[in-house]
Amino acid sequence: MQRHLISAADLTRDDAVLILDTAEEMARVADRPIKKLPTLRGRTVVNLFFEDSTRTRISFEAAEKRLSADVINFTAKGSSVSKGESLKDTAQTLEAMGVDAVVIRHGASGAPYRLATSGWIDAHVINAGDGTHQHPTQALLDAFTMRRRLVGRDAGLGKDLDGRRVTLVGDILHSRVARSNVDLLHTLGAEVTLVAPPTLLPVGVETWPCDVSYDLDSTLTKSDAVMLLRVQRERMNAAFFPTEREYSRRYGLDGDRMAKMPDHAIVMHPGPMVRGMEITAEVADSDRCTAVEQVTNGVSIRMAVLYLLLGGNEPAVTHARTTEEK
């Protein structure tokens, strides 16, 4: 494993499978009466959130606490950042307090990369989402969810997603989730198709390792997983599409469309879901929708990433069990 996790593109197939396998081990901790491992005892992790994200921050915090790390939460609102302090100064201040790892969420693409490579700090850097660039732990938890559902919980160990067909629908242009997923799913052997109106696809998307389509219906029948991405209503005002209703008609997933999907196929959503526009309540609440499972899996994935970056080389839970038994 590398020192930092900045982009899903940085992960080799073996790295990614190791993280998914480790996450399976971590998931077992959640089944225990005491959901805690001593693995990161004495380590300090700061959650450096320059952008609002309750979901991701709590997920990381839960993962850190289950590994017994000391956790510092930092949000930009009401902090020295709102008084004009720079990312560099903020990070250096936190490191001066003895931080071992920084989990950073930032509105600017590339901010975690700068933090990891500029020499400002020595701590490990984990990207919790930067601008429209990357959100690698989201891609990992999505892949983990797919592997569990499509390959099998225990049968999936050591395996990738070779040959699975995944369709991502929605605002690809502004989505760090889409970029991360395309990179990671390609590494894991899946075939990815992006579906969106042309206005919500980036110039240059033809060079990405995936197919592109403007037509959702034609891709549904051959998808093992359909992942819906959030479409912000303000995009409509910026002329990315004419009306909410038109978007919903062409790219929303309702019961009729879901029925076209193969029986085993799943519906995914990184959340928060905008019901009625991109997904109907019928689909969101169906057994095939993994949105809630993805949240649960997010904690296991983040535990695995933190453990592998900060912990050791030995299998996480085996080591932890031994410690516990002592």
Partner 1 sequence: MSKTLIRGAKVLGGEPQDVLIDGGTVAEVGTGLSAEGAEVVEAGGKVLLPGLVDLHTHLREPGREDSETVLTGTRAAASGGYTNVFAMANTFPVADTAGVVEQVWRLGQESGYCDVQPIGAVTVGLEGSKLAELGAMHESAAGVTVFSDDGKCVHDAVIMRRALEYVKAFGGVVAQHAQEPRLTEGAQMNEGVVSAELGLGGWPAVAEESIIARDVLLAEHVGSRVHICHLSTAGSVEIVRWAKSRGIDVTAEVTPHHLLLTDELVRSYNPVYKVNPPLRTERDVLALREALADGTIDIVATDHAPHPHEDKDCEWAAAAMGMVGLETALSVVQETMVDTGLLDWAGVADRMSFKPAQIGQATGHGRPVSAGEPANLTLVDTAYRGQVDPAGFASRSRNTPYEGRELPGRVTHTWLRGKATLVDGKLT
Q: Please confirm whether the linkage preceding 272 is cis (ω < 30° from 0).
A: yes
| Structural element, H or E, at residue 146 | helix 136-146
Residue from 87, 184, 195, 308 that binds partner 1 (CB under 8 A)?
A: 87
Q: How far apart (Å, rounded) are the C-alpha atoms in residues 199 and 177?
A: 18
Residue from 107, 209, 272, 312 that binds partner 1 (CB under 8 A)?
A: 107
165 is in an annotated binding site: no
Q: Which is nearer to partner 1, 69 or 76 (by Cβ)?
A: 76
230 is in an annotated binding site: yes
DSSP string of 236-304, one letter each residue: HHTTSSS-HHHHHHHH-B-HHHHHHS-TT-EEE--S---BTTTB-HHHHTSTTB-HHHHHHHHHHHHHH
Question: Residues 189, 159: contact at Cβ < 8 Å?
Answer: no
55 is in an annotated binding site: yes
Question: Residues 273, 284: contact at Cβ < 8 Å?
Answer: yes
Q: How far apart (Å, rounded) are the C-alpha atoms in residues 135 and 218?
A: 28
Binding track, positions 122-141, relative to partner 1; x by CB under 8 A: --------xxxxx-------
43 is in an annotated binding site: no
41 is in an annotated binding site: no
Residue from 29, 46, 111, 231 that binds partner 1 (CB under 8 A)?
A: 111
Question: Residues 62, 299: contact at Cβ < 8 Å?
Answer: yes
Q: Which is nearer to partner 1, 131 or 271 (by Cβ)?
A: 131
204: contact with partner 1 by CB under 8 A: yes
92: contact with partner 1 by CB under 8 A: no
- Identify which range of 22-30, 58-66, 200-208, 310-318 contacts partner 1 by CB under 8 A: 200-208
From the CB of 9, what's the least distance to partner 1, in Å?
8
83: contact with partner 1 by CB under 8 A: no
272 is in an annotated binding site: yes
Q: How far apart (Å, rounded) are the C-alpha atoms in residues 136 and 129?
A: 7
Q: Residues annotated as binding site?
A: 55-56, 83, 105, 135, 138, 176, 230, 271-272
Q: Which residues bind partner 1 (CB under 8 A)?
A: 86-88, 106-111, 113-115, 117-118, 130-134, 176, 179, 202-205, 207-208
